[in-house]
Structures are given as structure tokens and as C-alpha cells.
Amino acid sequence: MLTFDKVTKTFGANTAVNAACFTVDKPMMIGIIGRSGAGKSTLLRILNRLSDSTSGKITFDGLDVTALRGAAKRSWQSQCAMIFQQFNLVPRMDVVSNVLHGTLNRQSTFATMFNLYPNEDIHRAIDILDRLGMAAHAPKRAEALSGGQQQRVAIARALMQDPRIILADEPIASLDPMNAQVVMQALRDIHEEDGRMVIANLHTLDTARRYCDRVIGMRDGRIVFDGTPGQLTTGVARDIYGADGSFSESMTSTQIEQSAAAAAMMEKATAL
């Protein structure tokens, strides 16, 4: 279904994504893990065409995604919905209207300006909110909701696009553990029940193991691991998070991940 063929993205002298290659032959839930700055978000933005690759090619069901322009590009973006860490809702707008924004690509400018939507779309938006346990909050302003609730509204907005792929860019980074579980389970249910491909950038190995069918590890723009959650060994964690020989063999992969993150923070502090 989906193929990345030597996809590269550079920003001046910096290479954010370096010759990324992988193939997905059926809908699955994929987790992308790695340190901050590894290239995870850039990879998703290239797939959604929010950012253009410098070189390489992405194909989906035979369609050359990287070559799309104008209306064809906008059509692809509606099939490849994005969910962001900061939700990107309109705070003062009610929940159901935020969800209906998922149909903007097929609404006229007049309808958008005056918040006019077909009854069929309104009913569908409420049905999607109900599926995510959020129907009771439909008339509330988005700003009145908790972070976990806002993220579920963002997921509902993505589902209004009826996409074939859902891209989630750090969807639980700002959430507490309980809300993080609710959001990740919602994404997992969408994959299993709808047969949609879900690709999520994740902070922790444990989350990738629990919810994903496949895990891609990135380091310094390169893909250094591509396999099943069961293959995420301690050695693999070192490859992904850059832990050196000072890390004990007895450490778990999560401890290595946390230690590598702490080391990265110390490195930044020293540079400052």
C-alpha cells in the first residue's frame, strides 16, 4: 500500500530525514520512535505533504504522493489526516463545529464563513463523537475540555475526513498517563474496527509495544530499526536512543530511553 523510497529532507546543511526506505503492504498500526530531533515529525509531514521532500519518492496504492500538486495534493491530504500534539482546535468554538471542520476541504467558502453544514454531516459528527465517548460534550466550547478530551475531539475531526491513513504526531506527549491510554486505545480501535492505517510518533517504547503492530526507530534522520514490538530488545533501544557503553547491560529499554533523554538534555544545557 505505502512505500518510502530513499526519502530525504534537508534544511540547509541539516538533514532531517536521510534516505528513509520502508514498505507497508496492508493497513496496520505503526509506531515511530526516537529521540527528539530524530526526524519523526518531519517524516509524517512529508507523507501528508505539509512539507516537501528534497529527494526520493512516496507511493500509496500506485499514486506518486510526492508529485501531487494543487487540487490533487489537497485531495491526498484529506485522505491522510493529521492529529497534532497541541490538538489545533478552535478554542472558542463548540466541539461539534470543531469536528465538522474535518469537512472543510469539500465545503464552499460561504458555508465555511457562516458555519453552515448539511444535517447529514452534523449527525455524522455526533455519531463519531459518541463513538469516542464525547457526544455529551458536543455543545461545549473546546477550551472547556481537558487535554485528553480535546485530543479525542481532534481524532473525531480527522475521522470526519474519512481518511485512509491517520497520522498522529506525538498525540499523547502532553497528556497524563490515564488520558494517554484512552487516546491510544481510541487510535487502536479505529485501526482494528475501520481497517485504517494509523502511523503515530511516540515518546515511549512501552506505548509502542502495547499498541502497535510494527515499530520504526529513527536516529539522526535515519531508520535504524524496523520490526515488531517483540523485537525491541535492549540492544535495539541503544541503537535508537544513542546510549553508549556507559549504560549497564542490566538496564531495561525504557531505562535506556530515559537515560538517553536525560543525556540529551544535559548536552543542550552544556551547549547553552
Structure confidence at residue 260 (pLDDT): 53
- Residue range 159-177, pLDDT digits in tens: 999 999 999 999 999 899 9
143 and 86 Cβ atoms separated by less than 8 Å: no
- Residue range 119-142, pLDDT digits in tens: 899 999 999 999 999 999 999 999
For residue 141, what are the β-bridge partners? Answer: 94
Phi, psi of 66 (to 5 degrees): -70, -15
Structure confidence at residue 249 (pLDDT): 35
Domain spans in the chain, listed from the N-terminal domain onward: 2-232
Sites in the chain below the pLDDT cut of 50: 245-251, 263, 266-272
Rounded CA gap, 119 and 97, in Å? 12
Domain 2-232 belongs in CATH node 3.40.50.300: yes
Structure pTM? 0.85
